[in-house]
Structure 1
Amino acid sequence: MDSQADLADILAGEPERIATGFQFTEGPVWHSDGYLLFSDIPANRIVKWTPDGKTETFREPSGNSNGLTYDRAGRLIACEHGNRRVSRTEPDGTITVLAERYNEKRLNSPNDVVVKSDGSIYFTDPPYGVSEAERELDFQGVYRIAPDGTLTLLIDDFDRPNGLAFSPDEKSLYIDDTAHRHVRAFDVLEDGTLANGRILVDMAIDAQGSPDGMKVDTAGNLYVTGAGGTWVVSPSGEHLGTIVTAELPANCAFGDSDNKTLYITARTSVYRVRLKIEGMKTF
C-alpha cells in the first residue's frame, strides 16, 4: 500500500498547505495554548503559526534550531543544529544549555529530541550542521539526558540518526537511520538505556526521501516523514500507507485541541491533515 487512499481508517481529510515562503521547515511542535512552533533552519529562526493563518518570528537567532519539543513543565527544548547543543527555555525566557559536550568533545549537530514522562530527554546527533574538519566525535550518537542532567551515550552505530519517538507505553523507542533508510526499534530498560535494537521498517524504495522526522499516535502507529511522503506504519512495522504532500516532508507533529491534526513541515511550507486517531501529547 502506497497512498493516502489506503488510510481511510486514519485520515479524516486531505492535506492542505497552511503556510509557505520559508527556506527549510523542520521541528514542528504544538503548544497547548493553541499555536504551532517550527524551525526555519537556514533562516536561523523559530516561527510561530496561529490558527488565524498568521506567522511571526518567535526567536531569532535560534542557533539554527532543528527539532523542537516541550518538557513536562511546558519548557521549550531545542536541538540547536548550528550551536551544536541542546537547550531549554526557562519561564523567564533565559536559555539553559542541557548538552553541549560528550567526554569533553563538542557534539556534532543535535537534530531531533523527545522527552520521556520521567523527564529524561533523548536526542540524536548526526553531523548535518558541522563540517568534517569541525567534528570532534568520530561517531553519531543517540543520547539521554537524565533528570539530574547526566548525559549518557546510548547508541553509537547509526549513520545519520534523526527523528525519534516513544511508543505510547514508553517501552519502545523508535529511531530513524536516515543514511540506511530504515527505522529501528529498541526496548527501553528500567534505567532508561536501550537494548534489543532491530529494524522495524525499511524505507529503501524507489522514491525520493529518507526517514527524517517521526511521531506516534495513541494507537501506536508511527508517522515517519520519508520516501515519497509521510509513512504511516503500524506498531508491528507494516506500512499502512503514505500521506502525500506537494513538497517532500521533513518532520511532523500532532496538534489542535483534540490532538487529531498532523502538522507536516515540508521544505518551504507547512501542511496539515485531519486524523481520526489522536496523537500522543507532548505535555
Structure 2
Amino acid sequence: MDFKTPLARRGFLATALGGAACAAIPARAASDAVATPPSVISQPPRQWGAAAGPAYFPDPDVIALDPSFSGLTYFAAPIRRIYDKGDWVEGPAWSSEGRYLVFSDVVQSKALRYIWETGEVTQFRPDSYAANGNCFDFQGRLITCEGFFRRVVRFEHDGSVTTLADKFEGKGLNSPNDVVPHPDGSVWFTDPGYGTNISEGHADEPGGPTNPDGRIRWKIGRELIGDIGGVRRQQDHVFRLAPDGTLKAVLLEKDVTCPNGLAFSPDFKKLYIASTPAGPGQKKGGDQAIHVFDVQGDSLTNGRIFADMRFHGAQMNPDGFRADVFGNLWCGVTGPLGLCGVFVFSPQGVLLGRIRLPQGCSNLTFAGPKRDHLVMCAGSALYMLQVGVQGAASS
C-alpha cells in the first residue's frame, strides 16, 4: 500500500477489515443503484431477529480470505441470532441423542437448552453454580465446569451427579473453564482463574489473591451444599483426568499462562489451547496466542505457537474453539468491532476466513443432526450459521 496516497473511506475499510468490508458500507451516492447488504460494521448497523428483513446471499459478514474457505461454507446461509437474553453465554455442547444444545450463562448462573425442533430456549437446571464449559463424553454424559464450586462434574444417565475433580495435590482448583473428552475415557480441562471473582464464581477466602484484605464476603450468594471447593487461587494448569480418577497436570502456568479454550484435532494427536489475558488476582496474563501440542498418551510434547492472533494491526484474543472433520480450527475471538467473531484456520495455521459478529465470540460448537450448524456464543447472544462442513465431535 502507498501510504502517501489518501484513501477513500470505502477503500480504507476494505483494506483494514477484509475483502467484504467495502460492500458492507451503505451506498451514499445517488448513482449507486445496487443496494448493499447490512453488516455488523455498517451505519445503520445490521439488524437481527424480526427486524432483520430479507437475508442477503452470500452473507456479507462471512468473509473468505483464502479460496478454500468457500468449500467450508454454504453460500445461501445467513448468520442468524437465535437467543438474546443472556449476560455472558458460554460453553455450548450438542447432544446428538437429545437433539438439543446445552449452554451456560455464567453471570446469571443458568444452565440453558436450545431445542432443535422448535428453536425454544428453556431452563436446563435451576442453578448452574456459575458453570462455564460443557461437553458430552463418548457415552453421551454431560460434563460441566462449575465456577462457583470450582470443580468438574458429570451428570450420569440415571440423573445422579459425580464430582470428577475439585482438588489437585490437596489444594482446591481455581475455576475449571473448558473441557473436552478423549476416546480413551480421559477428560482434559483448563483451570485458569477467571471464576475467582464475584461475577463468575466466588472470590478467594481472606488473604487470597482476589480478596487480599478480606473485605469481600466470599461465602454468600449461593446455597452451599457440602464443600465449597477451592478457596484460594492457585497456579494455572491444564489437567488430564484419567478414567481411574487420577488427575495429572499436563501443563503448568509457565507452559501456558491463562489457559482457556482447548480442542483436540480429529485424530486426537494434537491439542490446541488458547492463552488469554490476565485473570483476577493475576498481574501477568497470557500471550493471547493459540498454542498446539502433540499428544503422547497422558502427556503433551513439542509445544509451539499455532497462531499469534495478530490481525490487521490488532492483537485479537482467542477463546473457545472446535475442529471440523478436516482438521480446520474454528476459533471464537474477541477484539475490535469489525474484526471480532470467528477465525477459521487450516491445520497448518493459515487463516482461511472469518465470521464477523457484533460482539466478541467466547465459544462455539457444531450442532444440528448433521453437525453442520455452527453455534457461536457472543456476549449476551447465541448466533447460528449453517456451514458446508461437519464438526468433529464425541457425540
Deviations 1:136-165 (A, max 9, x none): 454200000001110000101222101111
Check conservation: 1:209, 1:248, Cα contact below 8 A: no
1:46 is matched with: 111
Which residue does 2:43 correspond to in 1? none
Question: Does structure 2 retain, via aligned residues, the 8 Å contact 1:11–1:276?
Answer: yes
Residue matched to 2:266: 168
SS at match of 1:9: helix
Q: Determine if contact 2:105/2:112 at 8 Å carries over to the other structure.
A: yes
- 1:53 shift after superposition: 1.9
Alignment of 1:129-278 (within 5 A): 129-130=195-196, 131=203, 132-133=209-210, 136=232, 138-156=234-252, 157=254, 158-179=256-277, 180-189=287-296, 191-205=297-311, 206-207=313-314, 209-227=316-334, 228-278=340-390
Aligned to 2:217: none
TM-score normalised per structure 2: 0.69
Structure 1 residue 279 corresponds to structure 2 residue 391: yes
Amino acid at match of 2:375: Y
**Ranges in structure 1 where 5+ consecutive residues have no aligned partner:** none
Corresponding residue of 1:22: 86
Q: TM-score, normalised by structure 1?
A: 0.95
Displacement of 1:204 in angstroms is 3.3
- Looking at structure 2, the residues matched to 87 and 207 of structure 1 have their Cα atoms a distance apart, in angstroms, of 37
**1:239 CA displacement:** 1.0
Q: Aligned Cα RMSD in Å?
A: 1.6
Poorly superposed stretches of 4+, deviation over 3 Å:
133-138, 204-209
| Cα displacement string for residues 39-85 of structure 1 (whole angstroms, at most 9, x for unaligned residues) | 00011111011131211110121121100001111110001122100
Query: CA offsets per residue over residues 177-198 of structure 1, 9 Å max, x none?
Result: 1131110110000x32101110
CA contact (8 A) 1:19 1:53 kept: no
Query: Which letter does structure 1 place at the counterpart of 2:330?
Result: Y
Matches of 1:124 and 1:239, distance apart in 2: 25
Q: CA deviation at 1:208?
A: 7.6
> CA 1:2/1:150 → structure 2, altered by over 3 Å: closer, same or farther?
farther
Residue number in structure 1 paired with 2:72: 10
More strand by share: 1
Offset of residue 110 of structure 1:
0.3
Aligned to 1:112: 178
Distance (whole Å) between structure 2 residues aligned to residue 265 and residue 136 of structure 1:
29
Alignment partner of 1:78 is 2:144: yes
Q: Which runs of 5+ in 2 are unaligned?
A: 1-16, 20-61, 197-202, 204-208, 212-230, 278-286, 335-339
The match for 1:34 is 99
Distance of 2:108 and 2:120 partners within structure 1 = 18
Match for 1:151: what amino acid? Answer: L
Aligned twin of 2:224: none
**Using the alignment, how far apart are the partners of 1:154 and 1:136 within structure 2?**
21
Using CA pairs under 8 Å that are at least 6 residues apart, name the structure with larger relative contact order, 1 or 2. Answer: 1
Identity across the alignment (%): 38
Closer, same or farther: CA 108–2 of 1 in aligned 2, 3 Å: farther
User: How many aligned positions are there?
Assistant: 282
- 1:110/1:126 contact within 8 Å kept: yes
Give 1 or 2 for the bigger CA radius of gyration. 2
**1:79-128 deviation per Cα after TM superposition (whole angstroms, max 9, x unaligned):** 11221000001112221110000010010100000001111100000000
Could you tell me which amino acid in structure 2 is paired with residue 5 of structure 1? I
